[in-house]
Structure 1
Amino acid sequence: MPNPFDILPLNLFNLFTTVGFASLQRHYMAILIRIYSLAEFNRFGLARETVIAEIVDYIKDADAENEIQADMTNQADPEPDPVSLAGSKPEQTYAAYLIRRLAESGWIEREQHADYSETIILPDYAFTLLEAFRSIQEQKPREFKGQLYAAHQLITSATTHKDFSPTLAVSQTYENIRQVVRGLNELNQNIRRYVERATKKMEVADLLRLQFDDYTQTLGPAYHALKTSDHVSRYRRDIVNQIQIWLQDDDWLARTAEELAAQSRLSPAQAEHEINQSLIFIVHQLEGLDPLLADIDARHAQYLRTSFRQIRYKLGNADGSFKDRLVSLAQHLSALRAEGLEELPEDVNTYTSTQVETEHGTRNIAEHPPGTQHAPRPTFLPIP
């Protein structure tokens, strides 16, 4: 199996090792993701003018002129851009410089035409890498909703429809189960990360925002689907039972391997081995999900307990630490004792207090003293 750098340009990531301005790598990444968003569904490449305009908009929005100008100055003997226009504005000059840097590092390719126009193209590896970077930027968990249902439908179709390709059923079920297991592992680790964030010193507003805005919106739907529509027990037994039947059916394995060999460069023996490995992988992963699901439930409950405990603690100590409250209580009792009181007033806990200066020192008095109590009075109602 080749190493990724047998395919990737050697200086691909040198773009992010900037010196002097740490924010430059952020600017390069943001610009790359913007270009990727433009090129994602574009079939003919991007016109240079379109990319220039997008970069100029970013430079203005991010106020990045100084960093880019410094980077241009630090480059030894920068080569002039052959497509640059004379008399262009500074922002366009910066954008042209960034395009040249992206092309030199291998993130984009420039295709020049006979009419001197230029098209910007993203290589295939750039699509893969930038999609991963954008997923990290958006902070969205891996989407695995419906994958178990799709795997169940594939297995069912392969058994009930004779013209349905068994090779397609096995390969797609394999991919679906991989997505499910990866999604569950990511969900588990993301919940652990939220537990760690909830234990940090955060204000109540931040904890509430983390609980109801971030956690609920990001991980809530995935966890809810796991416990309802995508519950493993709904589909696991049917999938495992059918795969075990296939593993014991030599004729079915031979036919499926022959079909796979015809579609690929594998020999029949290699194809049969790959089919067996895929089926065993599916069974092994489905049968081993219970400990992972139990760990997800435990981490989810731990996060809820930790989050609400932190919120309750913060709210309970909003008027000071426990030590401060003990000191205040001791001072209050000392002031009452100095006034000759041997017992606490009966209404000591019925209203809030504040500190005032008296001839005996500082003491707490009621901010809103209780109202005067009156004896009940009879009420006379006229009789018609």
Structure 2
Amino acid sequence: MDIFNILGNDFFKALTGKYQNIFIDCLEIIYSSYRTELSYGIDKDILIAQLCDYFERNSSDDIQFDDDQDVLRDSRSKASEFLRKLKGYGWIEYEFDNNGRAKIVMPSHSITIIQALTDITKKNEMEYQSEVSSIYSLLTNEDLLDRPYPQVIKPVYDRTLALFTELKKLNTGIRKYIDELTDGQTPEELMEHFFSYNDNIGSKAYHRMKTNDNVSRFRNTIESRLRDILSDEAIMEKAVSGYQNIENENDRDEARSKVIEIITSVIGYFNSYDDIEKEIERKHSKYLRSAVNRAKLAFLNTNNIEGKLSTILRNLANAFEEEEDKGIYDDVPDDYCRIFNMFPQNFISGESLKTIGISKKIADVDEIFTSQIIPEEEMLKRRAALKNKTEHRFSRKNINAFVRILLKDRAEIDASEIEVTSKRDMIRLIFISIYGRDRKSEFIVMPKEKIINEKGFTFKDFTLKRRAK
């Protein structure tokens, strides 16, 4: 691609420096000023006046370019310098009329790039129906076949290329569109945006593609007419001659190959439409499910920190119970320490959430198996183990019972008075502190400022008291 021989090496400097936003604004003013003109040219004095107005309204700070010692303070000097820079970078050119007045002219490559930048910021979506209808009309108009290449084949190819480029952009843009609606949103905002998204079906372009802009309605006729052109030798001869004249191709065989390649490319594009449509629909469904799951998780993921810590501590206590060889002063295994490497959590990817099936399948009933007979001794042993496990759980009921024993006839007791000889005892002390803040518990916790350091444990002391009934 020989792009810099056309644009020049400094063309993109206007878009990369510290004043890039001002350059963009100036280019937009220049481009917009041509709307009332007969060409992409405008009187320099008129343009200077428009730029001065812009600098007076938007830029009161002094401006100094890195390669220049002069400091620009007034709006006119800023306008003149930015025009000079744009001319040096190759964005604009000067022309002089018969009276010697200067006109600012935009070359064709600058216009093309400004139009592309405008399309990006405006996010215009193609009206697919207008493109497909134009292709259809060109191919079904018999009067245009006297000059088939310039009047039918070339414009059909150009419009087909533009149409499928927009379809591919829609295919790649669905995920970004939904992520923009859902990322970093509260549950309420997620629901609001979900219904907004649902109304527009993700994108107005997607909605049109599935309804009135459906390419399938025209595709068969378009493909049929293109094949008719390929099989009609008289039309092909005219098309080859037209290709040679317009594309400056002297070799007739090469011209014929190019015409056939163009026509078959258009047929290929329309043949691939079903695959593109299925891919767009698949992505649309996938990312919409992801947005819904994100909303569900946001609603379910409450800020109950005590509940989360309670679950973590309960699991730790169970793990320590199974490690009888570990004493109170032993280091905690790395696997447990990693639990406390806290980090912000956002959402689980929609792909990792399995939807609960609602359909039922009728299958053969399995044969009823004969239950194993467990000896009475084993049954009693299992019951005792289950009872022991239940009694040692850090449930609210067990913690309440433990505190009742601690208090007995006392009105209150400090946590520093409770004997701690194992990791399990320390975790139970933490559960006492957690449950004491719950109104359903039989006791209350009153924090104290004193810090306790005992037997390798450090915690802020607190007082336990019976809850008044």
Note whether the superposition's TM-score is higher than 0.5.
yes
CA distance in 1, matches of 2:163, 2:296: 36
Q: 1:25 aligns with which of 20, 32, 41?
A: 20
Deviates more, 1:46-55 or 1:99-108: 46-55
Q: 1:127 aligns with which of 111, 136, 139?
A: 111
Kept in 1, the 8 Å contact 2:146–2:238? The answer is no
Matches within 5 A, 1:198-347: 200-204=183-187, 207=190, 211=194, 220-263=203-246, 265-267=248-250, 268-317=252-301, 320-321=302-303, 324-325=306-307, 333=396
Letter in 1 for 2:141: S
Quote the offset at 1:92 in angstroms. Answer: 2.0
1:361 is matched with 444
Residues 198, 328 of structure 1: alpha-carbon distance in 2 compared, 3 angstrom cutoff:
farther
Residues 308, 279 of structure 1: alpha-carbon distance in 2 compared, 3 angstrom cutoff:
same
CA shift digits 1:78-112 (9 cap, x unpaired):
699xxxxxxxx812221222111111111112334
CA distance in 2, matches of 1:210, 1:90: 46
Residues 113, 245 of structure 1: alpha-carbon distance in 2 compared, 3 angstrom cutoff:
closer
CA distance in 2, matches of 1:102, 1:216: 45
Quote the offset at 1:357 in angstroms. Answer: 10
Matches within 5 A, 1:153-192: 153-158=137-142, 161=143, 165-167=147-149, 168-192=151-175
Q: 2:30 aligns with which of 28, 31, 35?
A: 35
Quote the offset at 1:334 in angstroms. Answer: 5.6
Quote the offset at 1:232 in angstroms. Answer: 2.4
CA shift digits 1:108-167 (9 cap, x unpaired):
123345766432211111100100111111223345342122212211113xx4765422
Residues 112, 156 of structure 1: alpha-carbon distance in 2 compared, 3 angstrom cutoff:
closer
Quote the offset at 1:234 in angstroms. Answer: 0.9
CA shift digits 1:238-282 (9 cap, x unpaired):
211222232233333113223443455333434322221111101
Letter in 2 for 1:226: M
CA distance in 1, matches of 2:52, 2:194: 38
CA distance in 2, matches of 1:193, 1:306: 12
2:50 matched to 1:54? Answer: yes
CA distance in 2, matches of 1:273, 1:257: 9
| 3-state SS of paired residue (1:7) | helix
2:71 matched to 1:71? Answer: no
CA distance in 2, matches of 1:133, 1:228: 30
TM-score (norm: length of structure 2): 0.60
Letter in 2 for 1:48: K
Deviates more, 1:208-217 or 1:264-273: 208-217
CA distance in 1, matches of 2:26, 2:197: 26
CA distance in 2, matches of 1:235, 1:279: 16
| 3-state SS of paired residue (1:119) | strand
Q: Which stretches in structure 1 are left out of the alignment for 5+ residues?
A: 81-88, 341-353, 363-384
Task: Kindly name which structure, 1 or 2, has the bigger radius of gyration based on alpha carbons.
Answer: 2
Quote the offset at 1:300 in angstroms. Answer: 0.9
Kept in 1, the 8 Å contact 2:8–2:90? The answer is yes
**Matched residue pairs, number?**
328
2:370 is matched with none
Kept in 1, the 8 Å contact 2:52–2:75? The answer is yes
Letter in 2 for 1:295: E
Residues 57, 287 of structure 1: alpha-carbon distance in 2 compared, 3 angstrom cutoff:
same
Deviates more, 1:228-237 or 1:296-305: 228-237
Quote the offset at 1:34 in angstroms. Answer: 2.6
CA distance in 2, matches of 1:284, 1:209: 41
2:383 is matched with none
CA distance in 2, matches of 1:209, 1:36: 38
Kept in 2, the 8 Å contact 1:149–1:230? The answer is no
Deviates more, 1:264-273 or 1:207-216: 207-216
Quote the offset at 1:193 in angstroms. Answer: 2.0
Kept in 2, the 8 Å contact 1:195–1:302? The answer is no
Residues 5, 162 of structure 1: alpha-carbon distance in 2 compared, 3 angstrom cutoff:
closer
1:376 is matched with none
CA distance in 2, matches of 1:180, 1:273: 24
1:10 is matched with 9
Kept in 1, the 8 Å contact 2:153–2:263? The answer is yes
Residues 58, 216 of structure 1: alpha-carbon distance in 2 compared, 3 angstrom cutoff:
farther
CA distance in 1, matches of 2:396, 2:23: 64
Identity %: 20
Q: Please report the RMSD computed on the Cα atoms of aligned residues, expressed in angstroms.
A: 3.6
1:92 is matched with 76
| 3-state SS of paired residue (1:75) | coil
Residues 47, 6 of structure 1: alpha-carbon distance in 2 compared, 3 angstrom cutoff:
same
* Relative contact order higher in (CA < 8 Å, ≥ 6 apart): 1
TM-score (norm: length of structure 1): 0.72
Kept in 2, the 8 Å contact 1:9–1:105? The answer is yes
Kept in 1, the 8 Å contact 2:64–2:71? The answer is no
Kept in 1, the 8 Å contact 2:63–2:71? The answer is no
2:332 is matched with none
2:335 is matched with none
Letter in 2 for 1:33: E
CA distance in 1, matches of 2:218, 2:237: 26
| 3-state SS of paired residue (2:217) | helix
Residues 323, 97 of structure 1: alpha-carbon distance in 2 compared, 3 angstrom cutoff:
same
CA distance in 2, matches of 1:43, 1:51: 15
